[in-house]
Structure 1
Amino acid sequence: MLDALVVGAGPTGLTMASELVRHGLRCRVVEQLEAPSVLSRALAVQARTLEVFDDFGIAEQALARGRKTEAFNVVGAGGVHTRVPMQAFSWLETRFPFIFMLPQDATEALLAEHLDTLGVKVERGLALEDFRQDADGVEATLKRAGGGVERVKARWLLGCDGARSRVRKGAGIPFEGETYDDACVLADVRVEWPLGQGELVLMPSMHGVVGAFPMPGEYRYRLFCVMPRDMLPEGDETTPLTLEEMQRILERMSNVPVRVSEPRWMTRYRLHRRGAPRYRQGRVFLAGDAAHIHSPAGGQGMNTGIQDAYNLAWKLALVNKGRAPESLLDTYELERHPVGQMLLRGTDRLFGLMAQGGTPSRLLRTYVVPRVAKRLLGGSYTQRLMARFVSQLAIHYRRSPLSTERIWGEEVGGVRLEEGPAPGERVPELPVKGEGVERLHEVLRGPQHTLLLFTGLKPEAKARSGLVALARRLEEAYGPLLRARVVVAGEGEPGPFVLADGEGALHRRFGAGAECFYLVRPDGYVGHRERPIEPKRLEAELARRMGPPGAGGEKRVAS
């Protein structure tokens, strides 16, 4: 019996499979398409997704294949033009303080290559027909493109098969929501116009709104036009869109002269806002577009699916290995469903601001917004709000039952533990010196939990050596499930099990004036923090989350 069957080989399914394999599970990935899609589809790769790619060791490859976006432009009637630099992202505690554009076909190719290095290939031309589940697992019927049928047994079935998910339908999970009234056309084309390259563009008009996302390549853009349905050229959503039609639409809707050519993908479509009320049905889980779809405003969809997979895989692994109770899997929906709902609300508001409303709204967007855009969008407060939403770095699980803390004793050194990353929050990226590492996220890299033991800002030599011995003992006891490091303030050079925090910056950011510890989940979120460090309590916390000590014959997986 397989540990998991992943249905769908888009970014969500490929991420899910990669994580499951990295955690030591046996899985298969099936995809009904016989060849990888060459359509660009999702385009924006946000900062949090790039951090996941960094964990996989493929971030540099992604950066080499796409392009950064430096500014946002609003162009109104008569060509009135406001350019807002995206400098707000520079304050984010990440290696990737920018919006990055990488077509989905390139993202899928990169993830498929990564999965291949882990020894798993996507099985194409293989569609899910139906399935049944019982207390022990799922039996799925797969149909090959040539007509052959195969039955597969797996402990878990993971539906990463998009908006028309057969897994969701087979599990009887509704897909609640609505279809927007507006009509849309989309084109990946070469664009010639009097605007700069490599920047986002929004052009509201009385006929609707034109948006442009820069793509890799000279003068390449993803253009989308949103308009009332009665303004759509002849034909419905299934009628192919021609370059000539796209040119005529732009001549009517664009506020600057524009010429398009060299199309790679063009389509008409309708926008939907839908979400599943639950992400789990027994041994069946939903992730990505199978669980939530929305307007492309904010460039969130693909990124959210990747985060769904990143959240679920490590939990499945611990349960499958018998190191955690099955109730751990309930936290997937508890943590990710609110994120999906927030996504639906946020993108709906953004889409409404950009494209919906009657004549007064169009007048406002066309004639007023471009003239005040810099004042509205250029301020530090507004840009920080935008950056927090778009980057997905502010997503948290503070209300999760997995987010716990115990804080006793006095604050030391003018810093407060409560001001550090709270349980359920993402661990920020910061410089730190360790053996072979220069960044905190390099310390976290891999499928294990990470234990950070802080010495406090004024460590004593005896206490330091005791913490190093504790870190060594715990890591040896838990094997591949745990990485333990002692963060030593005032230390210039790292050593075995030691991270050097020479100026104490890491201690201050984590509020670690006195001895304390942070336990970081495999997905990079704080699971538990505590002060002071009491070895027996610490060991009890580790056992509660990962089972009793003893590697159980598991081998450490390369990070």
Structure 2
Amino acid sequence: MGPSVLIAGAGPSGLVLALILLQNGVSVRIINNELKHRIGSRGAGIQARTLELYEILGIFPDIRKAGEPVKSEGKPFSMAVYNPGKTEPTKLLPSNYVAPTPDTPHTYGLTLSQERHEEILREYLKDLSCTVELGCELRDFEQFTDHVVAHLVKTDADGQQQEERTKFDWLVGTDGAHSMVRKQLGLSFLGETRTEQNMALGDIVIENLDNKIWHTWNVPPKLIMLRANHSTSQVFTYVYTGRAGEKPLTREEFIEEFYALTGRRDLTFGENTWMSNYRPNVRMVDRMRDGRVFIAGDAAHCHTPSGAQGLNSSIQDAVNLGWKLAIVAKGLAPEALLDTYSEERIRVIAHMLQVTTKMHDKTWVHVPGAPADDESRWKRSPDLSMLGVNYCGSSIVLEGKDKGKAAAESNAYATAEGGRVQAAYRAPDAPGLVSVDDAQMTNLFSVFRATVHTVLVFGGDAAGRALVADVLGRLPKDTVQRWSSFATVLEDRAGHAYGGYGVEAGELTVVVVRPDGVIGAVVFEAEGVEAYFQRIFG
């Protein structure tokens, strides 16, 4: 029997989706039409919320080891602002570091070249006996009521081609902004392309420049920003905007324009490892599922790189879809559950496009008469950490009675208020937990899994807990893990679980955490637990 799911496209969203499905025991084939893996920094910002998801997936240690913290306690400044011809900055912008807390261990993200990021994800897939098939293109597909037939063309290094038609249960297009899957489905991709805005991006080696801080020169309408890939590397990512002409820059042309704009001939340039010409393209679909076919990542939405939201939104698409597709593919939940992928993600993506477009205009678009040294263009909202991304109004989230119709219209990036955890928002961490069984220390992010719902039962009497246990015992096997006094007991010695979740000691409170780290329900009796899981498993 062949793989159950075909994933067309091997960027971060496709790789993460493959990892989640494999962890859930669903067979996968992931293909990429290019003969070699892409190089370059590209989407190098990994936001705090994505790091939390990577903890749940079990891959955070390797990502952290390879990445560079955007802000850290020992890093007082984040950017140097220069006047042309000056080697010393006229301004040093502070990093405004905020220390982590027990419920939020990641207050900032990491900078990590997308090239290395994808390599790490592929290593995890390899451990699960899955590799990306290079030179394998999805030409077209046919969709039926219970399967999809994909027309694939495989090209080897000598240019020899071999065609095949293969049946899969499901198809997911993570094949980029020019997605063939999206086009064949006929999905709308409404928005705008700003042809008048011409930007050059790339990676280049620069000697004699501090690699622990960002650097910028603004000579309106031109602006150049440099960001080191790592404090151990002299490879800098550059963004250059406001230049004339439509032709992509060569390495030599960029260097000469850099010298002319900055006057910094004390800097020496080395290899130009990656270069791209870019025009802002802001578009999104109105749905992300058509029968047995889905799209995710850039195939469903494209936007400016400002704020480092694109790659992270793409990964969060994959995490949202992954657990739902897994339990449907295994026959544990009805196909209707898959409609909530679009329902939950479209609202978030629409808000994200507004955020990134506004930020792009503030940072990169020259406004005549605006001061060249306006440092406000570099200030970033804490919302960009994506810790507030929520699914308020979702049909499968069991929200409190006080939410009402306003939930679906609430800010998709807003954090929960009120001191108690709320359904539809991220589940916080809680360190300092001790397993009564083996006295091992742990934290909730180590407990959560992308393969199961996690049910946290706080307080209550024996009778109330027994009723909850009865409900959970009737759910499909291996879909839920229980942490309470009737399953695995975790002692909250530091008080971070009760405190971070805003739960009163003694009161029976049940918090259901979905496999994507989102709180599906906060309820106070067994009937609420049953009502939530009825929405998932039917």
Q: 1:419, 1:160 → 2: CA distance?
A: 38
Q: 1:14, 1:65 → 2: CA distance?
A: 18
**2:498 equivalent to 1:527:** no
**2:221 equivalent to 1:213:** no
Match of 1:453 among 441, 447, 457: 457
Displacement of 1:404 in angstroms is: 1.1
- 1:159-308 aligned at under 5 Å gives the runs 159-180=173-194, 181-192=196-207, 196-216=210-230, 217-228=232-243, 231-232=244-245, 236-237=247-248, 241-254=249-262, 258-308=267-317
TM-score by length of 2: 0.86
Q: 1:110, 1:278 → 2: CA distance?
A: 30
| Shift in CA distance, 271/539, structure 1 to aligned 2, threshold 3 Å | closer
Alignment RMSD = 2.8
One-letter code aligned to 1:200: W
Displacement of 1:53 in angstroms is: 2.0
Q: 2:261, 2:102 → 1: CA distance?
A: 36
Q: 2:306, 2:263 → 1: CA distance?
A: 20
Tell me if structure 2 keeps the 8 A contact 1:472–1:484: no
What SS does the aligned partner of 1:211 have?
A: strand
What SS does the aligned partner of 1:524 have?
A: coil
Q: 2:472, 2:417 → 1: CA distance?
A: 24
Tell me if structure 2 keeps the 8 A contact 1:419–1:510: yes
* Structure 1 alignment gaps of length 5 or more: 409-415, 457-462, 488-494, 548-559
| Shift in CA distance, 297/193, structure 1 to aligned 2, threshold 3 Å | farther
| Shift in CA distance, 188/218, structure 1 to aligned 2, threshold 3 Å | same
One-letter code aligned to 1:120: C
Match of 2:81 among 75, 83, 90: 75
Match of 1:511 among 502, 513, 516: 502
Displacement of 1:469 in angstroms is: 9.3
What whole-Å deviation, never above 9, does each CA across 1:223-280 have from its counterpart, x for those lacking one?
A: 110114xx24xx624xxx4332111221233386644323222233323112122212
Q: 2:314, 2:452 → 1: CA distance?
A: 21
| Shift in CA distance, 476/330, structure 1 to aligned 2, threshold 3 Å | closer
Q: 2:152, 2:295 → 1: CA distance?
A: 18
Displacement of 1:480 in angstroms is: 1.6
Displacement of 1:308 in angstroms is: 0.3
Q: 2:355, 2:183 → 1: CA distance?
A: 26
Tell me if structure 2 keeps the 8 A contact 1:101–1:215: yes
- 1:486-505 aligned at under 5 Å gives the runs 486=484, 497-505=488-496
What corresponds to 1:412 in structure 2? none
What whole-Å deviation, never above 9, does each CA across 1:365-406 have from its counterpart, x for those lacking one?
A: x13x14xx5xx97xxxx76xx2222x1111001121122145
Q: 1:537, 1:85 → 2: CA distance?
A: 44
Tell me if structure 2 keeps the 8 A contact 1:69–1:98: yes
One-letter code aligned to 1:520: V
Match of 2:345 among 333, 336, 339: 336
What corresponds to 2:442 in structure 1? 438
Q: 1:227, 1:418 → 2: CA distance?
A: 45
Q: 1:353, 1:477 → 2: CA distance?
A: 50
What corresponds to 1:135 in structure 2? 145
What whole-Å deviation, never above 9, does each CA across 1:269-309 have from its counterpart, x for those lacking one?
A: 32311212221222211100101111111111111111100
Tell me if structure 2 keeps the 8 A contact 1:5–1:156: yes
Tell me if structure 2 keeps the 8 A contact 1:209–1:354: no
Tell me if structure 1 keeps the 8 A contact 2:203–2:235: yes
What SS does the aligned partner of 2:217 have?
A: strand
Q: 1:188, 1:89 → 2: CA distance?
A: 31
Q: 2:252, 2:366 → 1: CA distance?
A: 28
One-letter code aligned to 2:151: T
Segment drifting more, 5-14 vs 266-275 = 266-275
One-letter code aligned to 2:459: T
Q: 2:102, 2:260 → 1: CA distance?
A: 39
What SS does the aligned partner of 1:236 have?
A: coil
Q: 2:325, 2:472 → 1: CA distance?
A: 23
Match of 2:383 among 371, 388, 411: 388
Q: What count of residue pairs does the alignment treat as equivalent?
A: 502
Displacement of 1:92 in angstroms is: 8.7
One-letter code aligned to 2:9: G
Higher fraction of helix:
1
Q: 1:450, 1:7 → 2: CA distance?
A: 31
Tell me if structure 1 keeps the 8 A contact 2:33–2:135: yes
One-letter code aligned to 2:21: L
Displacement of 1:433 in angstroms is: 1.3
Tell me if structure 1 keeps the 8 A contact 2:103–2:500: no
Q: 1:510, 1:289 → 2: CA distance?
A: 34
What whole-Å deviation, never above 9, does each CA across 1:400-422 have from its counterpart, x for those lacking one?
A: 112214589xxxxxxx9963221
* Structure 2 alignment gaps of length 5 or more: 72-76, 403-415
One-letter code aligned to 2:126: D
What SS does the aligned partner of 2:390 have?
A: coil
**2:414 equivalent to 1:421:** no
| Shift in CA distance, 221/93, structure 1 to aligned 2, threshold 3 Å | farther
Q: 2:263, 2:503 → 1: CA distance?
A: 54
What corresponds to 2:477 in structure 1? 479
What SS does the aligned partner of 1:483 have?
A: strand
One-letter code aligned to 2:172: L
Segment drifting more, 253-262 vs 156-165 = 253-262
TM-score by length of 1: 0.83
What whole-Å deviation, never above 9, does each CA across 1:406-450 have from its counterpart, x for those lacking one?
A: 589xxxxxxx99632211000112214143452111111341000
Segment drifting more, 142-151 vs 171-180 = 171-180
Segment drifting more, 136-145 vs 538-547 = 538-547
Q: 1:304, 1:428 → 2: CA distance?
A: 19
What corresponds to 2:407 in structure 1? none
Segment drifting more, 302-311 vs 98-107 = 98-107
What SS does the aligned partner of 2:497 have?
A: helix
Q: 1:271, 1:89 → 2: CA distance?
A: 34
| Shift in CA distance, 500/254, structure 1 to aligned 2, threshold 3 Å | farther
Tell me if structure 2 keeps the 8 A contact 1:273–1:294: yes
| Shift in CA distance, 336/164, structure 1 to aligned 2, threshold 3 Å | same
Segment drifting more, 64-73 vs 156-165 = 64-73
Displacement of 1:310 in angstroms is: 0.3
